[in-house]
Amino acid sequence: MSVEYNADQKIPHPAMWGVLYKSSTPFWDGVKEKRVMLQRCKSCGYWLNPPRPMCPKCRSQESEWVAAKGTGKIYSWVTFNESPHSAFKTPYEAVLVELDEGPRIVSNVVGINSDELEIGMPVEVTFEDVAEDLTLPKFKKVG
């Protein structure tokens, strides 16, 4: 089911640590523009997911960021019945989505009940403003 938050608690996200996350900044900049950005090796096209400084296949250090289509399938999920962080109301799901391009990313679902979730379910990205300063890419049923 969709995640509900405790409004008085900060959702943990990179910017709040107060440090510069050099490798993921293009992803979070992309989210602000409602895009899911992925890093890819410029030399051989291998997906660098999560982002990293060198391609493990061809050892090139030249990479580029490209926007994913935003469609994929549920690959796995977890239902948290005990919250590991005060910002998240239980129960809620974290899902692993396999994007149509191949890379898998962790996210949440919107408008899908726990008992509807299944591995292989087609989903598409939607962007949810979860706090004044935070938008997250989440996934809903296709169509």
Partner 1 sequence: MAIDSIKDKAAIVGIGVVDFSTDIGRTEWYTACQAIKLAAEEAGVNIDDIDGMVKSVDDGPDPTYTGKGLGIDNLLYHSENHWGTSAMMNAVHAVAGGLCNYCVYYQTAHRASGPEKCISDFLVAREFRDDSLDMVRYDYFSPFGLIGEPGYVAMMYRRYMHETGIKPEQLGWVPIVASENAARNTNAIFFDKSITIDDYMQSKLIADPIRELDCAPKVDGSIAIVITTPERAKALKQEPVIINSVASGYALEGQNYTSYTRDVITDLPEMENMAKELYRVGGMGPKDIKVAMLDDTFAPYVPMQLEALGFCGKGEAPAFIEGGDKIRVGGQLPVNPDGGEIGQGRFITTRIVEAVRQIRGTSTNQVANTDTVLVASGAGGPADGMICRKE
Please identify, among the stretches 13-21, 33-41, 63-71, the one whose residues bind partner 1 according to the rule CB under 8 A: 13-21
Of 71 and 94, the one with the shorter C-beta distance to partner 1 is: 94
113: contact with partner 1 by CB under 8 A: no
Give least dist CB 142 to partner 1, A.
Answer: 20
CA distance 98 to 89: 25
66: contact with partner 1 by CB under 8 A: no
Q: Assess contact for 118 and 141: CB atoms under 8 A.
A: no
Please identify, among the stretches 36-44, 65-73, 91-99, the one whose residues bind partner 1 according to the rule CB under 8 A: 91-99
Binding mask 23-62 for partner 1 (x = CB under 8 A): xx--x-------------------x-xx-x---x------
Count interface residues toward partner 1 (CB under 8 A).
43
DSSP tag of 7 = T
Residue spans of alpha helices (H) in the chain: 25-32
Look at residues 135, 134, 137 and name the one whose alpha carbon lies nearest to residue 108: 137
Residue 27 buriedness (CB in 10 A; 0-12 / 13-18 / 19+): buried
96: contact with partner 1 by CB under 8 A: yes
